Chains A and B, each alone.
Chain A
Amino acid sequence: MPALKVNGRTHDVDGLENSPLLFVLRNDLKLNGPKFGCGLAQCGACTVLVDGQPVRSCVTQVGAVVDQEITTLEGLGSLEKPDKLQRAFIDEQAMQCGYCVNGVIMRARALLDQNPHPTEGEVRLALDGNLCRCGAQNRMVRAVLRAAREA
């Protein structure tokens, strides 16, 4: 039986192997973190971690990631207990509308896991494939650097 392991819990996804991971996470597992932005892997709003690697869930089929460890925004922390990176985004007020923030945080999480003390340039480069239309990029970069500092 194929299973989807998300944020430490296992879900039966029998019959959904060909569905986009994003729709299964949002519609079946009722997770709000990953967002539909383009369906084309161009904007990054749908980013989740698969075995620690940032993946665009809008173009990933469920069948391709069964039995791997999937982490969504909800897997980092909660409203009551946000993790360091989420906390840093609050402290820096790092958004306007916040629609792209899921992707930015997940991409940054992957960066920090691999490189705990990145330079500003490395943060910008890592986030260059994540689009933000409100113009909160500098705040988000500051938030990632703050999280790295306070880690």
Chain B
Amino acid sequence: MTINATRRDVIKGAGALAVSFDLVADAARAADAPGQKLPGDLATSPKVSSWLRVEAGGKIRLLVGKVELGQGVLTAVAQLCADELDVDLARVAITSGDTRLVPDEGVTAGSFSMPNCGSAVRQVSAEARQILLGLAAKQLGVARDALTVADGTVKAPDGKSTTYWDIVANDAFEVQATGAAPLKPRDARRYAGRHVPRLDIPFKVTGTNIFIQDFRPEGMLHGRVLRPPAYDAKLVSLDTTSVEKTAGVVKIVRDGSFVGVIAEREELALDAIAELRALARWDVPATGETQDTVHDWLLRQKTQDILIKNEPNKAAKPAATVEAIYKRPYHMHASIGPSTAIAVLDADGVTHVRTHSQSVFETGAAIAEMLGVDKAKVHCIHMQGSGCYGHNGADDAAADAALLAQATPGRPVRIQWTRNDEHKWEPYGSAMLIKTVAALDDKGDIVDWSHDLWSTSHGTRPGARAGNLLAAHYLEKPFELPTPVNGGPPNYAADRNAIAIYAFPGQKVTTHFITSFAARASSTRGLGAYANVFAIESFMDELAARAKVDPIEYRLRYLKDERARAILQKAADMFGWKDFKRAPGRGRGIGFARYKGLAAFCAVAMEVEVDRGTGKVRVIRVSAANDAGEVVAPDGVKNQIEGGVVQSLSWSLKEAVRFGPGGVRSADWTSYPILTFSEVPPIDVELIDRPGTPFLGTGEASQGPTGAALANAIFEACGARLRDIPFTPAKVKAALQA
């Protein structure tokens, strides 16, 4: 299998054949049929040819706008394609994330890839099969229904046969999908729902070209950018003469406060930046916030107050009212591989940008605005990078490379951020503060509930606006950061999962959205869901403890959704909740959510041990249960849930971006430590598969439940209620002494 192809490869495969009138008639009939809504991104890119080509030599070229981030999505969509088209998986070659070749599927984020891309690929592959069978029927002179297909070879009952690639029917794909093509019954599928080893892994364990970092075009130069000492710093003076004279330094690019260097060798570029840093004089405005004051800052800001649920129980006569405040700090995406891009300005004025961006189309448009050129003059091509977990430095590195490439027409410029760049300049997951209030009756049952949250933006992705690109702020003619907008229903952003799934007699949820920034922030795995679920599920645990009721039983009182109840019960059974024997210093906790209220259901139970002397928390074991609807790639789903548990444990136990005078202080892995191999507990993941139901996005489902389960387990272990992430030993000790 091949993962990306040049444009020539794709065009080469496109043979010519006149469109059959039968097919046109088929399409027309289906278009007349009412209620055929095209699934997922097929609705916005309905042409079959946008997604599929048959290539000479027996390959099926699948074109998708979603990109591989290490989540295994390309393997999953290949499974769907191979099944519906009746070909071996090895015949499926994928082109992904090339703005000139693939359907625009927006951003690869928000756990949307399987619902939007997966369901589109499945349907369009079924449509293509119908088209190919129609052509084969004509060629073989038999009725379409009489044909059978095995690995692209179409057989008539009399033994005559042809193949997809003999038909080469790409013109026939220049039709709108009908939505009417039948999907394979489950037992006729070879790949979907079964374990298929990921297609990219053999490349990655052997050092075979697959990462953007491995792309080395002829004549490539190495660029680096001199990032300012702080967000709002302005360059006052910089004498570049000495650096310019250094052998191997090709160019110094200066545009306002943006300074970059292009060199023949990577280490020379780094040396030049170090020298320039020593020579540069900056005007650095003072900043007052620290990680300890950032939540006070949140509360001091002017907010947009959005009532996202307003169904208070006006008749409630509570016996008691309980409230709690929960906090999360700024968290980093903290990719292991710093952001990378390679750009080249061609003679035709087009800048080609290799990037690991999640949003190639919109990032390309933003770069075009920054460069002051037409959108068509920027061509973005996705290549795999280090895992990103949201909007990290990928797009900014693409912008850096595109800017520098303007100075060396014809010669590609490669950027890879330093560790310092990545830690200090990526847009973080926003700090949040959440206040929950419950009105209780005399038995401790909830009669009314409110949830207020304060947050800055979780969405400053490029979105076709230059002002969202880091470098654009520092140009002589700078682009202003657009005023951020909070994402609304049904997915929400800061307030994602803020509406509790529980059927309380009353519920009121208010978002206090802050459009200014204490630190650069954007989409980080789960957006607000991580903190909102942490707050809701911690508070439920507190209320259960108060009512002296088992926390699972307490939840089930308010949980009407059968799939939600099933997943909670499954996690409890896996963990052995009922028969749990508490050892001294140990405790268990559970957390649950349906991601976004509309995606995967996930419950996480865990056991922890708390050292009362040091305050150190050790996670002993984790059981996670997940319902992602119909499962295409079982191991892929498990891997996402397991990885999400580990990352959320890391956020919740160890991570907080540190600030001080002058800005961000977390500049490397020592000042921003993450969970290590010896700290990762055994994690058991099981799935409830629901064949025939829609794909539910799962990549972000375990973040919130994990944080809450951890806090709840710490409470049972030692009686201390931790409401301020991360639960460092110092905070646990302080809570024990309180």
Contact = CB atoms under 8 A, between A and B. Distances in A.
Contacts of A23: 265-267
A127 B265 contact: no
Interface string B325-343: 0000000001111100000
A45 interface: yes
A124 B336 contact: no
Contacts of B646: 134-138
A96 B207 contact: no
Nearest to A37: B336
Contact of A77 (B206, B211, B334, B674): B206
Interface in A78-111: 78-79, 82, 86, 89-90, 93, 95-102, 105
Interface stretch (B3-11, B293-301, B382-390, B454-462): B382-390
Interface residues of A, number: 57
A133 B336 contact: yes
B205 A96 contact: no
Interface string B658-697: 0000000000111000111110101100000000000000
Nearest to A88: B205
B201 A98 contact: yes
Contacts of B71: 96
Interface residues of B, number: 58
A133 B676 contact: no
Interface string B344-379: 000000000000000000000000000000000000
B254 interface: no
A2 B136 CA distance: 65
B228 interface: no
A43 B669 contact: yes
Nearest to A98: B204
A124 B214 contact: no
A40 B419 contact: yes
A139 B639 contact: yes
B14 to A, nearest CB: 29
Given A101-B204, A139-B639, A133 B418 contact: no
Contacts of B683: 138
A133 B669 contact: no
B70 A97 contact: yes
Given A39-B418, A39-B419, A97-B384, A32 B265 contact: no
Contacts of B640: 96
Contact of B678 (A31, A124, A131): A124
A38 interface: yes
A141 to B, nearest CB: 7
A99 B386 contact: yes
B668 A38 contact: yes
Given A27-B265, A30-B216, A89 B205 contact: yes
Given A31-B207, A124-B678, A138 B642 contact: yes
A32 B419 contact: no
B647 interface: yes
Contacts of A27: 216, 222, 265-266
A51 interface: no
B209 interface: yes
A139 B682 CA distance: 10
Interface string A20-61: 100100110011110111111011010000000000000000
B416 A36 contact: yes
Contact of B677 (A42, A72, A130): A130
Given A99-B211, A130-B677, A134-B647, A37 B337 contact: yes
A105 B205 contact: yes
Nearest to B423: A38
B336 A19 contact: no
B208 interface: yes
B213 interface: yes
Nearest to B683: A138
A14 interface: no
Contacts of A74: 206-207
7 contacts: A35-B211, A73-B205, A97-B385, A98-B201, A99-B386, A131-B336, A134-B647
Interface of B: 69-72, 197-198, 200-209, 211, 213-214, 216, 222, 265-267, 334-338, 384-387, 389, 416, 418-419, 635, 639-640, 642-647, 650, 668-670, 674-678, 680, 682-683
Given A23-B267, A27-B266, A135-B645, 4 more contacts: A27-B222, A79-B202, A93-B197, A97-B70
